Amino acid sequence: MISYLEFEKPVAELEQRIAELRSAADGDDVDISTELHRLEQKSADLLASTYESLSPWQKTQVARHPSRPHFRDYVEQAFEDFVPLGGDRNYGDDEAILGGFAKLNGRKIILIGHEKGNDTASRIRHNFGMGKPEGYRKAIRLMEMAGRFGLPVVTLVDTSGAFPGVEAEERGQAEAIARSTEACLALPGPMVAAIVGEGGSGGAVALASAERVLMMEHAVYSVISPEGCASILWRTAEKAPDAAEAMKVTAQDLKGLGVIDRIVPEPVGGAHRDPVVAATSLGAAIAEELDMLSGYAPHELKRQREDRFLAIAG
């Protein structure tokens, strides 16, 4: 069952009418196929036109949709033979950041990403995708393993930000994020990062400092959440839509600014409406990028990463 966002109410009303018409005609001899087709076409057209003109704030809502596919969904649909590896060999394991060996179209890779969970229990277990120091240190361990075995690294970023709790600070959250970013930049092999939902602050950059950065069509990527920015600038989270507009958080804006390299199209109505199609598109895009990067020497890959971030900073 689809959970509708506030701006999707007109679509929800149409689809409710379609469902009621089907229910009323069930077992009836009256032919309603023509009317059903008309309403279904109207609903599809309305959905398409709505998603063609989403504001940055509306895209933020889509990126946070509770039914949007997360790391485990993409692993199931786009990758093969995933073997999860846990622990940072220092403190413990963090289920907000998952990773391990995997294959993409037969190519062996190291796959790392944020997992938010899909129900109350799993969201709590995965800490809503907010990584702790041990999660980023696990990512570092896996990236170092990729370097030793000559494997490319693929990361799927989907977090509102790193966990800000006291215990995370006590265990060196900032240092872990910095070293994870450093590990990305130092990789001898190809790295492709994909922002699949939210890309929030340093918690996202720590897994996205790659030579090729992709974004799903309705994902967002920013240094702070729109609500956080609004609270700082205007002292109220109600200004979040204005903050989202000003921060240029969308894939389209960031592609124009050179922050990302490629936008991966989503099904009409967002990835949550057809996760299989979304995952297939993402897998194909990542495979293409890895093919293009496979001929570069380690020093060339490192230079590409350095150049992209120096260009952004400049």
Range from 50-59, 78-87, 303-312 carrying the lowest mean pLDDT: 303-312
The model's pLDDT over 249-283, given as tens digits with 9 standing for 90+, comes to: 999 999 999 999 999 999 999 999 999 999 999 99
Q: What is the band of 7 on the pLDDT scale with cuts at 50, 70, 90?
A: very high
Q: Can you give the pTM of this predicted structure?
A: 0.92
Per-residue model confidence (pLDDT) at position 29 = 62
The H-or-E segment that residue 130 falls in is: none
Q: How many other C-beta atoms lie within 10 A of the C-beta of residue 300?
A: 11
Strands 220-222 and 191-200, by their bridges, are parallel
Digit-coded pLDDT (tens) for 138-179: 999 999 999 999 999 999 999 999 999 999 999 999 999 999
Q: What is the pLDDT of residue 35?
A: 80
Distance CA 55, CA 228 (A): 18
Contact between 64 and 198 (Cβ < 8 Å)? yes
DSSP per residue over 63-118, as a string? HT-TTS--HHHHHHHH-EEEEE----SSS---TTEEEEEEEETTEEEEEEEE---S
**Nearest residue to 210 (alpha-carbon basis) of 179, 174, 186, 176:** 186
pLDDT at 314 over 80: no
- Taking residues 216-245, report their average pLDDT: 94
- Ramachandran angles phi, psi of 187, nearest 5°: -60, 135
Residue 1 has pLDDT above 70, yes or no: no
Confidence grade of residue 312 (pLDDT, cut at 50, 70, 90): confident
